[in-house]
Amino acid sequence: MIAKSRVVPAVLRYRHAKGGLATEVTFAGKGWMETVMNTLRLDDLVIKIDVLEPVNAIDFPDRESLSQYMYAKISDFYHSDLKAN
């Protein structure tokens, strides 16, 4: 089943209006609703949502390899606008 799967990665980037990383947004140790409510209370927050190119699972020998590849792609994209500033 996994061999026919396509993975479509999405990147959510939380930034301040001036472009800096919004470190106030955190999912660690908090419930989902608490995180959502805290996020909505921030005044100058910009949420950027990007969908990256789909990846075919069959192109990887195992889930670990796929996971490492996706992590690198998402991480690079997530930080790309911070490197420009």
d(CA 6, CA 54): 6
CB 19 within 8 A of CB 85: yes
What is the pLDDT, as a whole number, of residue 85?
52
What is the pLDDT, as a whole number, of residue 83?
65
What is the pLDDT, as a whole number, of residue 66?
95
Q: Please name the amino acid found at residue 43.
A: D
Q: What angle do CA 36, 37, 43 make, to 5 degrees?
A: 100
Question: Which of the 8 DSSP states describes residue 21?
Answer: B
What is the pLDDT, as a whole number, of residue 2?
59
Q: Over its length of 85 residues, how does the chain's per-residue pLDDT go in tens digits?
A: 456 889 999 998 888 888 888 877 776 777 888 888 888 888 888 889 999 999 999 999 999 999 999 999 999 999 888 765 5
d(CA 58, CA 49): 26
The residue written with tokens 């609703």 in the block is: 33
